[in-house]
Chains A and B, each alone.
Chain A
Amino acid sequence: MAEDSRSELLSLSAYELAKKIEAREVSATEAARTANARVEEVEGDVNSFVTTTPQLALERAERVDARMKNGGIKLWESVPIAVKDVLSTKGVRTTCGSNILYNFEPLYDASALLNYGEDMIVVGKANCDEFAMGSSTENSAYGPSRNPWDLDRVPGGSSGGSASAVAAGEGWWALGTDTGGSVRQPAALCGIVGLKPTYGRVSRYGLIAFASSLDQIGPMTRDVRDSALLLQAIAGHDPRDSTSANVAVPDYLAELEGGVSGLRVGVVKELMGEGVQPGTRETVESVVRGLEGAGAEVGEVSLPHSRYGLPAYYIIAPAEVSSNLARFDGVRYGLRVPAAGVHEMYRKTREEGFGDEAKRRIMLGTYALSSGYYDAYYAQAQKVRTKIIEDFRDAFSRYDVLVSPTSPTVAFEIGSKINDPLAMYLSDICAVPVNLAGIPSISVPGGLSEGLPVGVQLMSDHFTEPTLLRAARATEQVSDFKFTLKP
């Protein structure tokens, strides 16, 4: 295939590519080759992947093409994808960005991947902060990913590799996971769309847990329509995940172009003030004015407990992670550092296997759950969580969709925050309340500030993704941004 037709393919959205393949104008195999070539070209710059899987992508693409001949496929199946390295892929190394799983090959595929299709054309396992803990991918044992908009800057995190892959065209879309902004914040920093579905909308079976009560798998895409299509591919009830909801999956594309006329949009007061960069605030305000112009009823809304979201999150998430990471003990899989006696083996394995941030959070969580401290920390944080849920319930009685910045700042420079955990944590201050409440939220590029993308965060009530996506589509239309491949 000629160079220019490859670059033409690369300029398409996932939806457009899928339609082209459906119309037999191009094959899935050709799409896979194009993605692989693009990975070859830019991966040295962006480091989006822990493991690239060009051969697997080709084999699966050939199977997809064969199945198309014999009856057909689901629309999305022909689109090459990047998969965050915390999602289990059968027989394909899955590290979670950690040294402790440097050699781990799962026995099974995550349910969300199987929902997409057994022949999912995976171009690689995307880099991330270790066990999804971080906001820059600098906590990966496999080196930081780089923001395709500015290679000296972070792509955000923890799904930074997924974000940089999409922004750089290493696959047309990606899956990330979002525990406290880990899909939305890197999407914002890389100028793509990132959706965190309602907790329970997508099965967590096979998602290697960070914080079980907060984790959710989400689409990272070039535009809102792709986001709707990819959610369609992965959503659904799964009996293997007791927390997955037995709620019918609607057609997410059906209402997409419905517009925002009459839609009640509330701007969250507490998330527009202190700590938010002026350029970011102005971009959000400009998008809100655009929505108003498109017929939305805009007002201001208060989430009075949202400022306690971050502290509560940094109790609950580490508490769960301290328990979730206990299984990485060197006994059955992954890294084992031999030592005399089992306790010494545990100690050495975990000492060498985990990075600083993982250790920091294990210690935080262990402390928060300790007898004598449980009530003051974990139990108290759960009360705050309830207050935040009530805040949102109250807000959604008056508004259909809430708006805020996704991240208070644009992409920051690699190394600038890595030694200041609190500054790093503040990067997710707008995103975290959403996870605590379990509601869906999406980040849509709203424009540029200092030449870097700014994400606008939209939030809606549980299981109202169709409304959220419709508002996001309108946001995309009123914003001053158009997806173009970087670097």
Chain B
Amino acid sequence: MQTQEKRTYQAVIGLEFHVHLATRTKMFCGCRVAYGDEPNTHTCPVCLGHPGALPFTNEKAVELGVMAGLALNCEVASRAVFARKNYFYPDLPKGYQISQFDAPICTGGYLDVPVPEGTVRVGITRVHLEEDAAKNVHVGESGRMHGSVGSLVDFNRGGTPLIEIVTEPDIPSPEAARATANHLKAILQAIGVSEADMEKGQLRCDANVSIRKPDGSFGIKTELKNMNSFRYVERGLTRELERQQGILEEGGRVTQATVHYDPVADEVHELRSKEEAHDYRYFPEPDLLPLELTAAWVQEIKSRLPELPEERKARFIKQYGLSEYDAGVLTADAELAGFYEKVAAEADPKQAANWTTGELQALLNEAGIGIPESKVEPGHLTELIRLVEKGTVSRSAAKDVLGFVFETGDAPSAVVEREGLASMGGDELSGTVDEVIVANPAEAGRVRDGDKKVIGFLVGQVMKATRGGADGGRVRQLLMEKLDGQ
């Protein structure tokens, strides 16, 4: 939305996350949680919904769910109840999903999300435990159920432990929604609750979005689905808000609907849903006893909770003397923060932060990858910072060096040698300075006569001759020495 329009229409966004928990086994049976294996190799009567089979709760999943709730500043329930969510679908072998309804494990938390303008506090409505559905595979050209020749079901995913995290509709913009998602992901990874790999489907995000009208009244919300990256969350929300605003400006009414974002066309499509009024007929799962979560147990988990991004950020500011912003950027991504700490252990922390949040981050963004996929190792950056400090390479040449390292994964020193990017030092630079003095006698004369303003021109000439391979300060010093001494 444009700034102009913000004054009149206000986005109201709430997010809903489904997060696979990092357990070894499934939510209600002993089958392994595995990704990418041969279909239907991790199944048993329980997760296949065979008659007579009964669920038993994975305690580790409960623990991880509680950890997530604690990290999101939630209240942990002393008694949580599993409930059945009833609906028919081939990927749902029991005809119901075991979830939680009116007594979830955690409620009432918040998340302080760093955004360029400061912080947005996003309320966390609830965190609840549930099992994932299996995966339908549609055989045929379209790859979707409609128009397919047949459908197969892979039950390997069925029963994978999940938490659903629901935020309050506190998020003011698509940018803030993306930041919220990123920040949440960082937290979940930092505390080891989930690997949160979106490509593996370990983290999924839906959004509820509406527009508050100029008169302050709330609009009808739509549900935006099918966003398999946070970039799409931002873009999808932007498109959907544009769509809703367009309807309102033409005097129309937004209708409650599910909307899909098509990233290829960069468009949103309203789905005509026949199952508009879904009644899931929730009721307490009679096959499972309520979870009794004692205060002592919750306290014990709290004491084992690893450092959260906020805590890490505060530590970065204190320990490394970083700015609020730099510390925020670094700790928003657990991988990036870990990378930074390794660099900062061996090199000047401020330089390490500048390089990590600056050039390296820019390269990562451009390539659309994260630290784990990058060829740049912490040792590379440490070495590069040292080379600059020693004057072996100039600051500007070092950026090029990093570019080569990013592409090849070669050590900076090897890149410097191969690409001839070393700063000119000693005799060679002195020779070039001499050549510039000879080539520009008029300007050199004026400097000799005390007109120091002209020296900048000569420095520029030297830099040009060395193609940026010299340190500007060193050049200036050499020029002064040579012209003063004569």
Give me the interface of A with B, judged by CB distance under 8 Å: 87-88, 94, 96, 101, 104, 106-108, 110, 204-209, 211-213, 239-243, 319-320, 322-323, 325-329, 331-333, 342-343, 346, 366, 369-371, 374, 378
- Are B279 and A370 interface neighbours, CB within 8 A? yes
- Are B54 and A323 interface neighbours, CB within 8 A? no
Least CB separation from B49: chain A residue: A327
Which size bracket describes the interface of B in this complex?
Answer: 20 to 34
- Are B51 and A205 interface neighbours, CB within 8 A? no
B441 within 8 A of A: no
Residues of B within 8 A of A329 (CB): 88, 90, 95
In the complex the two chains form, what is the Cα distance from A110 to B51 in whole Å? 10
B52 within 8 A of A: yes
Within 8 A of A (CB), among B276-292: 279, 281-283, 286-289
- Are B289 and A243 interface neighbours, CB within 8 A? yes
In the complex the two chains form, what is the Cα distance from A47 to B289 in whole Å? 39
- Are A326 and B86 interface neighbours, CB within 8 A? yes
- Are B94 and A326 interface neighbours, CB within 8 A? yes
- Are B49 and A212 interface neighbours, CB within 8 A? no
CB contact between A107 and one of B50, B94, B289 (< 8 Å): that residue: B50
- Are A106 and B279 interface neighbours, CB within 8 A? no
Least CB distance from B142 to A in Å reads 15
Residues of A within 8 A of B57 (CB): 242
Residues of B within 8 A of A110 (CB): 52
Residues of B within 8 A of A370 (CB): 279, 281
B109 within 8 A of A: no
- Are B90 and A342 interface neighbours, CB within 8 A? yes
Residues of A within 8 A of B52 (CB): 87-88, 106, 110, 204-209
B45 within 8 A of A: yes
Given contacts A369-B281, A370-B279, contact A327 B54 (CB under 8 A): no
Least CB separation from A107: chain B residue: B45
Residues of A within 8 A of B51 (CB): 88, 94, 96, 101, 104, 106, 208-209, 327-328
Would you call the interface of chain A mostly helix, strand, loop, or mixed?
A: loop
- Are B50 and A366 interface neighbours, CB within 8 A? no
Least CB distance from A142 to B in Å reads 17
Contact string against A for B residues 82-107, beta-carbon threshold 8 Å, 1 for contact and 0 otherwise: 00101010100111100000000000
In the complex the two chains form, what is the Cα distance from A88 to B51 in whole Å? 8
Give me the interface of B with A, judged by CB distance under 8 Å: 45, 48-57, 84, 86, 88, 90, 93-96, 145, 151, 153, 279, 281-283, 286-289
- Are A331 and B153 interface neighbours, CB within 8 A? yes
CB contact between B54 and one of A211, A241, A343 (< 8 Å): that residue: A241
- Are A326 and B90 interface neighbours, CB within 8 A? no
Least CB distance from B24 to A in Å reads 17
Residues of A within 8 A of B281 (CB): 322-323, 366, 369-371, 374
Least CB separation from A333: chain B residue: B50
In the complex the two chains form, what is the Cα distance from A327 to B282 in whole Å? 16
- Are A212 and B286 interface neighbours, CB within 8 A? yes
22 pairs, CB–CB < 8 Å, chain A vs chain B = A87-B52, A88-B52, A106-B50, A106-B51, A209-B287, A211-B286, A240-B56, A241-B56, A242-B54, A242-B289, A243-B286, A322-B86, A322-B281, A327-B95, A329-B95, A331-B153, A332-B50, A333-B50, A343-B88, A369-B281, A370-B279, A378-B283
Least CB separation from B46: chain A residue: A240
- Are A369 and B283 interface neighbours, CB within 8 A? yes
Residues of B within 8 A of A88 (CB): 51-52
Residues of B within 8 A of A239 (CB): 56
In the complex the two chains form, what is the Cα distance from A366 to B95 in whole Å? 13
Residues of B within 8 A of A241 (CB): 54, 56
Least CB distance from B84 to A in Å reads 5
Least CB separation from A346: chain B residue: B88
In the complex the two chains form, what is the Cα distance from A370 to B280 in whole Å? 8
Least CB separation from B153: chain A residue: A331
Least CB separation from B288: chain A residue: A242
Least CB distance from A368 to B in Å reads 9
In the complex the two chains form, what is the Cα distance from A56 to B394 in whole Å? 87
In the complex the two chains form, what is the Cα distance from A322 to B49 in whole Å? 15
Residues of A within 8 A of B153 (CB): 331
Residues of B within 8 A of A108 (CB): 45, 53
- Are A326 and B95 interface neighbours, CB within 8 A? yes
Instruction: For the A-B complex with A205-B53, A331-B153 known, give 7 more contacts whose Cβ atoms are closer than 8 Å.
Output: A101-B51, A106-B51, A320-B283, A327-B94, A343-B88, A366-B281, A378-B283
